[in-house]
């Protein structure tokens, strides 16, 4: 297992290198640069002043030299500083990552806790009213944009309950209840797509496993129906479900951007949007590579989980 894990980790190196080069190049292809934001309120600024700022920030260096400085900074722990605020990128991400991480964890927990049982019930009660309701609900969850759900939920709570979440971020270690109240609607909106995907995949996998010979044998031996479902069917049906969860959790961290903007959450997605708008290259590059690395790491974990769920799978 350790040898296999080491091999997989080595395979991730060229992927990360390629992703970093692609992100670095795409950011440089954006029209304009940070001087547009720096001199936005100064109508009398000259082109010489802008050129001096570009030179000071190293934007006039050759592309490969800029990339080399960026990569060496990653390996030495120096991720650079924001062009606008001058704050180290590590501090900016240090404030943003916990917010997005909490939003992703809450959404994932809700999606898994609700989606898997619904999928199992739908499979066990195939072609019943319960199955039909669950399937329609899953289709709606896959079809409706999460930002529309967020706006609708925000309007309903504000008009019917006369309550809206706090705009200022409340850290969970300062006020746990206030933090959960602030994160409830965003987490619910983010989780709907994953919940629907998990439910539908669980249903399809359980239906397939229920037709296997070992399930029929367990039933023929008189095993209780609940034991057949939980011990024999559900565990063996979890491999594709784990794949969906692993890939979608990575998407949640990047896909929660609109939700963070709507609710004013200063998370990774919101930070990425604002820094892209301002052409704050160091923040954009590090944030985008961070999200890519999280996605790749989650896929690596999913690959390792395959062996635990089904030892027959060659790692």
CATH of 94-309, one of 3.40.50.970, 1.10.3720.10, 1.20.1250.20, 2.70.70.10: 1.10.3720.10
pLDDT of residue 263: 83
CB 263 within 8 A of CB 185: yes
pLDDT of residue 42: 58
- How far apart CA 153 and CA 266 sit, in angstroms, is 20
Task: Give the 3-state secondary structure of residue 88.
Answer: strand
pLDDT of residue 315: 46
Per-residue tokens: 167: 């705009």
- How far apart CA 63 and CA 199 sit, in angstroms, is 47
- How far apart CA 128 and CA 211 sit, in angstroms, is 18
pTM for this entry: 0.77
Pick from 193, 228, 207, 251: nearest CA to 119: 207
Pick from 248, 172, 176, 238: nearest CA to 209: 238
Which residues contact residue 281 at a Cβ distance below 8 angstroms, ignoring those fewer than 6 apart?
A: 27, 28, 34, 59, 83
Domain boundaries, the chain: 2-76, 94-309
For the stretch 122-129, contacts whose Cβ atoms lie closer than 8 Å and that sit 24 or more positions apart, written own/partner, are 122/199, 122/203, 123/202, 123/203, 123/204, 123/206, 123/207, 123/210, 124/206, 124/229, 126/207
Q: In tens digits, what is the pLDDT along the chain, a chain of 315 residues?
A: 556 566 667 777 788 888 888 888 888 887 777 777 776 655 556 677 777 877 887 778 888 888 888 888 888 878 888 888 888 888 888 888 888 888 888 998 999 999 888 988 888 888 888 888 988 988 888 888 888 888 888 888 778 777 777 767 788 888 888 888 888 888 888 888 889 988 988 888 888 877 776 666 766 666 666 666 766 677 777 777 877 787 777 777 766 788 888 888 888 888 888 888 888 888 888 888 888 888 888 777 777 776 665 555 554
Which residues contact residue 32 at a Cβ distance below 8 angstroms, ignoring those fewer than 6 apart?
A: 279
pLDDT of residue 150: 82
**Distance from chain centroid for Cα 220:** 44
């Amino acid at each position: 297992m350790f040898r296999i894990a080491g091999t997989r980790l080595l395979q991730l190196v060229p992927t990360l290198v390629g992703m970093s080069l692609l992100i670095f190049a795409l950011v440089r292809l954006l029209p304009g640069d940070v001087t547009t934001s720096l001199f936005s309120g100064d109508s009398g600024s000259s082109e010489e002043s802008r050129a001096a700022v570009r030179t000071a920030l190293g934007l006039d260096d050759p592309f490969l030299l800029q990339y080399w400085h960026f990569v060496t900074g990653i390996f030495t722990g120096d991720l650079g500083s924001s062009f606008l605020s001058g704050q180290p990128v590590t501090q900016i991400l240090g404030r943003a990552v916990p917010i997005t991480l909490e939003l992703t964890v809450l959404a994932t927990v809700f999606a898994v806790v609700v989606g898997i049982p619904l999928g199992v019930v739908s499979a066990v009660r195939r072609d019943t009213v319960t199955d039909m309701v669950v399937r329609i609900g899953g289709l709606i969850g896959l079809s409706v944009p999460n930002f529309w759900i967020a706006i609708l939920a925000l309007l309903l709570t504000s008009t019917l309950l006369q309550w809206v979440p706090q705009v200022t971020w409340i850290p969970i270690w300062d006020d746990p209840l206030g933090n959960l109240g602030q994160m409830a609607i965003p987490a619910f909106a983010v989780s709907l797509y994953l919940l629907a995907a998990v439910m539908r995949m669980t249903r399809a996998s359980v239906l397939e496993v229920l037709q296997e010979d070992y399930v029929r044998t367990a039933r023929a031996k008189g095993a209780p129906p609940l034991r057949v479902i939980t011990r024999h069917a559900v565990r063996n049906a979890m491999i594709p479900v784990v794949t969906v969860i692993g890939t979608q959790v990575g998407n949640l961290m990047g896909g929660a951007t609109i939700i963070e903007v709507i609710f004013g959450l200063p998370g990774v997605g919101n930070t990425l949007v604002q820094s892209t708008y301002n052409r704050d290259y160091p923040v954009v590059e590090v944030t985008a590579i961070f999200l890519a690395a999280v996605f790749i790491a989650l896929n690596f974990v999913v690959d390792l989980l395959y062996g635990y769920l089904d030892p027959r799978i060659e790692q």
